[in-house]
Chains A and B, each alone.
Chain A
Amino acid sequence: MALQPRKLCFVTVGATASFHLLLESVLSAEFLDALQKHGYTNLLIQYGKDGQALFDDFAAKHPPGHPIYHGITVDGFDFKHAGLDNELRLAKAMPSENRSGGVVISHAGSGSILAALRFGVPLVVVPNPTLQDNHQEELADVLQQEGYTVWSNYREVPSALDRAETLRTRMLTWPPVYGAHRKQPKNLEGVISEEMGYLD
């Protein structure tokens, strides 16, 4: 029997603001059940500067081999200075390394969203309701409407995994391509050239 391919769910809460609500939601029996149902083998969590206690607490309560895990390996780290590109790459399907396509669950920070879109990994965007001036929900909403990502409330993350699987079957290309019927908007180079006085 061939070894079961690794399938990774990568959760990132960002480096600056804490997002305990999302952490609590993914560190739960319900979420781990949902992961098992979709054939995930690994859960990797970037829990941020002050999420360590929550993560350690969960690990202490549920030692390795506890039935709550269903054999899923759970790892975590606080944050990485160099960015999350390596972790995002692990969520991408790579048959040569026995990896099937995973999912990224991210806070609604534009940096993380853009990185996941660039890698072409199905993305679940979870806005942080505790942040003031919450323009993140608008972004999550419009990205879901346009079919780039799945928008989920932090409470509904387990069910968002279903929608992420649907998204995987019809991923849009990134950066967006403008078809012949749609006017290609001006690009940045064009605007700078106009300001500089280049003729072309």
Chain B
Amino acid sequence: MALFESPLTGLLAWFLFCGVLGLISAILFLRALAVSQHTAVPRWRPKRSSVHLLVVLGSGGHTAEMLSMLRRMQLDPTKYTYRTYVVSSGDNFSATKAAEFESTLLNRGETQSYTIVTVPRARKVHQSYLTAPFSTLQSFYSCLMVLCGLHPDQQARLRELPSPYPDIILTNGPATAVCVILAARLLRLYCYCLSFLFFGRIHLRPSSVADTKASGKAPASGEFRLRTIFVESWARVTTLSLSGKILLPFADRFLVQWPALEGRRAWWGMRKTEYVGFLVD
């Protein structure tokens, strides 16, 4: 092989090899993202099964909008039996507002069944960009712990639930939402890989309706959890927010409240944004 005798051509060949490998893995990654965006949802679920809803709150405007949406949808505490609110550290306004909202649910004769967890901020105002990556990692790890039910703020009560993972994650785009949704996707990837290792023990593949109905149970524990719904802020009329742009390929459902934002997608083959009208009240 005269071609590889010169060290220069050898190096070139290596670069070519690594380039092709990189390209293939990039394509596989994009493909995996696209496929996972189209994962099946359960086609059936018993009425009285417990549902754990996780809501990510942000600073002033985001929190006000999120609670406005929860009011408008008349969140039914008998359906969403357990609620977790994620707030970032130092944000007392959001924590107060969440507790206030929960007290209106209590008036409807429900027992208290929610937690407010605090996660560190990804980047504090005026924090140096040098240390920002580290604090972002710290915030990301904290979000991961919340999703696994291992965060110190989470009570023992959570362990009574069938799974530590929340069923539905709802957010409207504060910076913390990026961490939470990426953490959720990472966990789902982890569960997916586990299902290959212990094939048959963890059911992640959608079982047929007949199977589920026959057993009369809710879908198995790891199955169909950590579904993410991103609602773009009502204040965004023609452009997506930064969180929105980042999360467009990662959220399972991307809802927009103005028609001009309908049909956006990260790239070809990905799920499009859905126009749902005003969700706020």
B55 to chain A, nearest CB (A): 11
Asked whether B237 lies within 8 Å of A195 as measured between CB atoms, the reply is: no
- Report the minimum CB–CB distance from A128 to chain B (whole Å): 13
Complex CA gap A195/B51 in Å reads: 12
Which residues of B in the span 260-278 have a Cβ within 8 Å of any Cβ on A?
Answer: 274-278
A197 touches B45 (CB 8 A): yes
- Cβ < 8 Å to B, chain A residues 60-104: 81
B18 at the interface (CB under 8 A from A): no
Q: What is the bound-complex CA distance between A21 and B59, given in angstroms?
A: 24
Interface size class of B (residues with CB under 8 A): 35 or more
Q: How far is the CA of A15 from the CA of B64 in the complex (A)?
A: 13
Central interface residue in B61, B231, B238, by most chain A CB within 10 Å: B61
Q: When chains A and B are docked, how far (Å) is the Cα of A139 from the Cα of B234?
A: 9
Q: Tell me the bound Cα distance from A52 to B276 in angstroms.
A: 41
Indicate whether B72 reaches chain A with its CB closer than 8 angstroms. yes
Range of interface residues on chain A? 20 to 34
CA separation between A11 and B59, bound complex, in Å? 21
Interface stretch among A23-31, A106-114, A159-167? A106-114
Residues A142 and B237 in contact in the complex (CB < 8 Å), given A109-B61, A185-B275, A195-B168: yes
Binding site for B on A (CB under 8 A): 15-16, 81, 108-111, 114-115, 118, 135-136, 138-139, 141-142, 174-176, 178, 184-189, 191-192, 194-199
List residues of chain B with CB under 8 Å of any chain A CB: 41-45, 47, 51, 59-61, 64-65, 68-69, 72-74, 92-93, 96, 167-168, 170, 219, 224, 227, 229, 231, 233-239, 252-253, 255, 258, 274-281
